[in-house]
């Protein structure tokens, strides 16, 4: 366990986990991008939105990463989108300070699998991409709104491009 994680006061760590259990979200977005391998950009993210900037700034300080953004309606977003920081900070934090709700536990487990696949570059091969997309389909179910792009969209539209542009992953 990294030293920064050992130094987190348990009361603060469990407070952040509880706060995230109620207000946080783990997401994976897909955007059509011709400048990306296979024509798609896959972006995992962790975020918490709230009107109280102070608590989000405190969470950002404790986790040592991420950004704060404010929407026009006064809602503030704490967000971590950097794959390495998700892997090295966010995942270990929530493995130490666990969630109580079954739904957040499930979503975190799915998100962790996606981040691991992407961190090691396995998503660059067609089979790895397919696994990421299949996991994404299960993330945050049931959903209130439809996803813009589904697994079928990406695999069908990008299949020949994905095969041509994607190097095989060895080992």
pLDDT at residue number 104: 96
Q: What pLDDT is stored for residue 141 in this prediction?
A: 80
Task: Determine the pLDDT at residue 160.
Answer: 44
Per the prediction, the chain carries an average pLDDT of 86
Find tokens 């991420």 and name the residue.
66
Residue ranges per structural domain of the chain: 3-165
User: For 59-85, what is the mean pLDDT?
Assistant: 96
Tell me which architecture the domain covering 3-165 has in CATH: Roll (3.10)
Burial 116-129 (b: 16+ CB within 10 A, else e): ebbbeeebbbbebb
Give the integer Cα–Cα distance in Å for 90 and 121: 19
Does pLDDT of 30 surpass 90?
A: no
Residue 167's pLDDT is what? 43
Q: What pLDDT band is residue 11 in, cutting at 50, 70 and 90?
A: very high
Rounded mean pLDDT of 7-34? 94
What pLDDT, on a 0 to 100 scale, did the predictor assign at position 40?
A: 79
Sheet holding 76-80: strands in order across? Answer: 24-32, 40-50, 76-80, 67-70
Q: What is the pLDDT of residue 165?
A: 44
Contact 127, 170 (CB under 8 A): no
Pair of tokens at residue 118: 């992407």
Confidence tier at 162 by pLDDT (50, 70, 90) = very low
pLDDT reported for residue 31: 86
In whole angstroms, what separates CA 110 from the centre of its chain?
A: 9
């Amino acid at each position: 366990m990294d030293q920064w994680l050992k130094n987190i006061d348990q009361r603060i760590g469990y407070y952040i986990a509880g706060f995230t259990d109620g207000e946080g979200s783990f997401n994976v977005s897909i955007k059509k991008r011709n400048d990306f391998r296979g024509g798609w950009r896959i972006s995992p993210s962790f975020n918490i939105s709230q009107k109280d900037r102070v608590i989000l700034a405190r969470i950002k300080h404790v986790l040592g990463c991420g950004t704060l953004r404010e929407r026009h309606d006064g809602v503030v977003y704490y967000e971590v989108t950097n794959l390495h920081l998700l892997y090295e900070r966010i995942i270990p934090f929530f493995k130490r300070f666990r969630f109580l709700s079954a739904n957040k536990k499930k979503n975190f487990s799915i998100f962790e699998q996606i981040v691991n696949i992407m961190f090691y570059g396995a998503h660059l091969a067609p089979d790895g991409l397919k696994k990421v997309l299949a996991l994404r389909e299960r993330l945050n179910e049931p959903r209130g709104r439809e996803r813009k792009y589904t697994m079928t969209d990406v695999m069908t539209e990008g299949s020949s491009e994905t095969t041509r542009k994607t190097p095989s992953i060895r080992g």
